[in-house]
Chains A and B, each alone.
Chain A
Amino acid sequence: MERSEIVIALAGNPNAGKTTLFNQITGARQHVGNYPGVTVEKKEGYTTVNGKTVKIIDLPGTYSLSATSLEEKIARDFIIHEKPDVVVDVVDASNLERNLYLAVQLFELDVPVVIALNMTDVARNRGIRIDVKKLSELLRVPIVPTVGTKGKGVDVLLKTAVERAEKPFSGGIKIPYGNDLEAAIQRISHLLKSRGWILPGYDAYWLAMKFLEGDEDVLKKMKASFSEGFDALEKEVDAEKRHLQELLGDDPAILFADRRYGFISGACAEAVRLSPEARHTISDKIDAVVTNRVLGLPIFLLLMYLVFQLTFTVGAPPMDWIDAGFGWLGEFVSGLWPPGSESALKSLLVDGIIAGVGGVVIFLPNILLLFLAIAVLEDSGYMARAAFIMDRLMHKIGLHGKSFIPLLLGFGCTIPAVMATRTIENERDRLTTILVSPLMSCGARLPIYALIIPAFFAPKWQGPMLWTIYTIGIVMAILLAKLLRAKVFRGETAPFVMELPPYHMPTLKGVLIHMWERGYLFLKKAGTVILGVSVLLWAITSYPKPESFPERIRTQEAAVEEAYKKSVTDIADALRVPNPEKLVEILKEEASPDALGGKGRLFLETVAEIRKITSGFTARTEVLDEDSPAYAEAVKNRNESFETLRKKAPGAFELARQYVESAEADYQKGLAELDNLRAAYAFDYSIAGRIGNLLEPIMRPLGFNKKLATPMIGAIAAKEVFVAQLGIVYAVGEADEESGTLREKLQKEYSPLTAFCIMLFLLISMPCIATFAVVKRETNSWKWPLVQAFGLTGLAYVLTLIVYQVGKLWI
């Protein structure tokens, strides 16, 4: 069978360095499957060797191939069904015996294997000397020493793997299981062969071994394909098992493991030399501090604090740049239309797409930094220590340390968190962890807090406020987990068993790739889901448009115009201009000033001067404190300018000043008020407003008005859409171009209590639709995602209701 491309699968224990090698080999030529919809998260990459395309697949990390966890099942099924040309088993040289256990199981799968003996640098530092040639002879596989982080040996590894793939494969080494076990395997294997019970792609000897091991996955598959007479076969297998148990004193599954380890120990005894002080390594010294009974927890909390600090402080400047960029883009696009135009396309582009997508993309720096920190913690090996430290606490809520890692990942994104629960073998523990994981406030909720907190809380309270929100999430998760374990998923906590990998210096490249993957997914979401949702939300916020406004608004319009006309008429009388109507038109810039005589012109010029002085004064004092000397200085300058002007034309000056400071100012204020009234009316008239009106009775008790209703619905698509939609609600029908930022508008409309309630509700209520999909996939049922969505929304409602109603009494 000649294939145009060579397929290499990378297998190995977690933390053996698979991904590092994968990145070294493929560089930028790689691709990660997106979570929702894709059944398996698969990393694929390409490289070229001797003009041939080589496809590399990074399989999930596993300790064995017994298919007790989802990862093991995925890895095993991939090798059996996709039949890669060669499997490269990445082995941690500093922990050889344990890592070779997987290698031995790969040999038994009857695929060509090449061992990448990775972390040889670590092994050397720990005084472990491996005779590679000897080990290779003993195991009868090519072994290539590598240092993933430095790219050492990668070329040789690739060459060796391709050679192995191209050579005909004549089977790997058979582990000596001893006469009794082997005879039993042979008997079962004959039985299977004689009945023709061989699943396509499987090997009879291997199947027989799995029967004796009691491998549930294989048994299930066999039963599905060959149901008739299956019970009889199972009885025979049971008899064999009992026979072996009596003969050798243990369950065959344990016996197999024992023989495999025996084989490995034998090989290692010959090929590996340990220096006596091999154990006292840097890792142990770090562990003595980091997992210390007294220091462990404070160090952990400090690290978490640093992570959040990094996310926010370092993230702030680039966020400003992105904000400015989108602001500029919005203005640029607006500028393509004549001023004052009411084009629907312009509104769609500026108010819908740029405001919506921009409002979300601005949080890219936060997301990148958070994932950067998580990648460093993960790659360095600290995450496993965190699980150790947290195990005692997790035990108190009926979970164990392993649940802690998914929950920690939940601060980044709930989707990888839910997927990471796969390492939890026990179903009850796993479901509990999945159900509470959205309460770990994810990165997508960060934009919401980042928008709201600075608007309502003084700088010194902003940090504590954020901390409070996150803590509420954690406390709720704890309480909920406790409740679930006590009432729904009753039973003992499953045993906690976990490898503690040595510390590694994470590589810049590895961490950056990890960070970029997450950032890319986020941007992709912004470009697809959020873009689509933004357009949709813009449409329902903009349409239908009211054809006319109600009586009360029209009356007020007339009143504002009337008042203005009256003020101008008074001025016209004083100026002795014969035609006040004309003056109104000129002042509104609807007619040319030439129509007025000499005295009128002087007045108009003075008005222009005064406007200039006033706007200059406003621009200068905008950022100043009214008590500051600079402010007093500005006032003095302005008054001097006024004085000069007055001296030139005393009569015109008084009238002009009266016009600018009262008549015109009142008129502008009146118009702005009218615009707000019209915008509010138009919003009520739009679909979004109608939905809001429908929901208002439900939302009111929480302190939410109808403008918050559609963003809250939008948040179900993706949490960060809330920010985008809020931007749209407030941008469509904006009172005027300089009506201030979204934050200022929110500040005017809501109280800090409402602001807090918004955050609280969004923290706890139903997770985003992507999480829903992943929970459905991971639990393989509709029940749990539905329970989660409705349960959390109900909880959010009740809790926010209490906070708002009680809070109102206090404030």
Chain B
Amino acid sequence: MSLSDVPTGEKVRLVDVMAGRGLKMRLAAMGLLPGIEITMAQNGGAGPVVIYVRNGKMILGRGAARKVKVKIF
């Protein structure tokens, strides 16, 4: 499933980023790499999502969140 479908409060694991090199590298620099644990902090169904990664908080636009494939723990 996509990160954009993860409801608020749910914990997931990153499987892959299905995006171009640019976005993939940017997300990697921020620590969004395969295997990492992500907790959804806020997903309102539209607009960007807020996630916790590596003990920090991040905003991901909905478009980007859709490209992040995850699986539920």
Question: Any chain A CB within 8 A of the CB of B48?
Answer: yes
Q: Which of B21, B29, B56, B58 has the most CB of A within 10 A?
A: B29
The residues of A that contact B6 with a CB separation of less than 8 Å are none
Structural contact, A257 and B54, CB atoms closer than 8 A: no
A-chain residues with CB within 8 Å of residue B53 when the two chains form the complex: 98
Known: A258-B34, A495-B23. A384 touches B29 (CB 8 A): no
Size of A's binding interface in residues, CB under 8 A: 46
Interface of B is mostly: mixed
Q: Mark A39-80, 1 if CB is under 8 A from B, else 0.
A: 000000000000000000000000110101000000000000
Q: Which residues of A contact B39 (CB under 8 A)?
A: 279
Number of A-B residue pairs having CB atoms within 8 Å of each other in the complex: 121
Asked whether A191 is an interface residue with its Cβ less than 8 Å from the other chain, the reply is no
In contact, B26 and A98 (Cβ under 8 angstroms): no
Convert A66-110 into 0s and 1s, putting 1 for each residue whose CB lies closer than 8 angstroms to a CB of B.
101000000000000000000000000011111001000000000
Contact string, A386-412, partner B, CB cutoff 8 A, digits 1/0? 011001100100001100000000000
A63-B50 contact in complex given A95-B56, A499-B56, C-beta closer than 8 Å: no
Chain A residues 118 to 168 lying within 8 A of chain B, measured CB to CB, are 128
Given A101-B29, A497-B27, A497-B64, do A388 and B59 touch, yes or no (CB 8 Å)?
Answer: yes
Of the residues A63, A254, A496, contact of B33 by C-beta under 8 Å: A254
A787 to chain B: which residues have CB within 8 Å?
A: none
Residues of A contacting B67 in the complex (Cβ-Cβ under 8 angstroms): 495
With A95-B56, A97-B56 given, is the CB distance from A400 to B61 under 8 Å? yes
Q: How far is the CB of A101 from chain B (nearest CB, A)?
A: 7
Please indicate the chain A residues that have their CB under 8 angstroms from the CB of B57 in the complex. Answer: 283, 287, 499-502
Q: Chain B residues with Cβ under 8 A from A3's Cβ?
A: none
Give min CB distance, A258 to chain B, whole Å.
5
Q: B-facing mask of A731-747, CB < 8 A → 1, else 0?
A: 00000000000000000
State which residues 1-54 of B face A: CB under 8 Å: 19, 21-31, 33-34, 36, 39, 41-42, 44, 46-48, 50, 52-54
* A666 interface contact, C-beta 8 A: no
Closest to A69 in B: B26
Residue from B24, B34, B61 in contact with A401 in the complex, judged by beta carbons closer than 8 Å: B61
Q: Is B55 a contact of A387 with CB atoms below 8 Å?
A: no
Cβ B64 vs Cβ A98 within 8 A: no
Partner of A425, one of B19, B22, B50, B59: B22
The reply to whether B22 and A284 contact each other, CB–CB distance below 8 Å, is: no
Q: Is A717 an interface residue (CB 8 A)?
A: no
B23 CB to nearest A CB, Å:
5
The docked-state distance in angstroms from the alpha carbon of A496 to that of B58 is: 10
Cα distance, A497 to B30, chains bound together (Å): 9
Q: Which residues of B contact A (CB under 8 A)?
A: 19, 21-31, 33-34, 36, 39, 41-42, 44, 46-48, 50, 52-61, 63-64, 67
11 contacting pairs across A/B (C-beta < 8 A): A253-B25, A254-B25, A274-B55, A287-B57, A387-B59, A492-B63, A495-B23, A495-B26, A496-B59, A496-B64, A497-B23
| 12 further A-B pairs in the complex, CB-CB below 8 A; given A98-B55, A387-B59, A500-B58 | A66-B25, A128-B55, A214-B21, A291-B50, A388-B59, A392-B46, A395-B61, A400-B61, A496-B61, A499-B30, A499-B56, A500-B50
